[in-house]
Amino acid sequence: MSSELTCKELIDFLDDYVAGAQTAQARAAFEAHLSICPECVDYLAQYRAAPRLARAALDGGAHAAPEDLIQAILKTRR
């Protein structure tokens, strides 16, 4: 992996990044990209929020997704 990541590469390896399952070199490359790409910072925030929002919807017994979950999903599609 090169030291400069594209947005596509960051997204492809996001699960490992969030889980802390990357090498120190790969993690540094991710963090370098995040430092210059606000769109990927937003994507990462939404990626981290999705499971929490889904659990909240299920724990509440709600059958419909909460509005903030819907907005988070829509934001990642833009």
Residue 65: the pLDDT is: 61
pLDDT digits (tens, 9 = 90+) for 8-65: 887 778 888 888 888 999 889 889 999 999 998 988 888 888 888 777 777 765 555 6
Residue 1: the pLDDT is: 45
Residue 35: the pLDDT is: 94
Query: Whose CA is closest to 44, among 58, 54, 35, 34?
Result: 34
Q: What is the pTM of this model?
A: 0.58
- Listed in sequence order, the DSSP H helices in 1-78 are 7-12, 14-19, 24-36, 38-59, 67-77
